Amino acid sequence: MTETKCIAKHTMYQPTDEEWKCPKCGSGDEHFDIQEPAEFSSDDCVQLHVNDELSCYNCGYGISGKEFASRLQKQKNLVTCPCCKGSGLVPKD
């Protein structure tokens, strides 16, 4: 089986398994999932995409991949690295 190259835009911050929870009710991956994958995303891509549509089946909350990743990045106080021209994240300090 060959891996298909994913051409959909990925979020800069990639949530960990522990962070993969509904922002509203805290349900984990058994209820919080990608309801609608981003256009042009590869079926075997495990990264979060900017245009993924996430939904919680427990409380009905919906959020985009971009907004979900941005919230986590802000909570962790991370900013785009000025040294590597935006290809990584570093603490805001």
Mean pLDDT per block of 10 residues along the chain (93 residues) reads 78 93 93 94 93 97 97 86 69 72
Query: What are 22-29's contacts with CB under 8 Å, separation 24+?
Result: 22/56, 22/58, 22/59, 22/61, 23/61, 23/63, 23/68, 23/71, 24/56, 24/59, 24/61, 25/56, 25/58, 25/59, 25/61, 27/56, 27/57, 27/58, 27/59
Number of domains in the chain: 1
> What tokens were used for 17?
């398994």
> What tokens were used for 73?
């990045």
> What tokens were used for 4?
């298909």
For residue 62, give its domain range.
Answer: 1-93
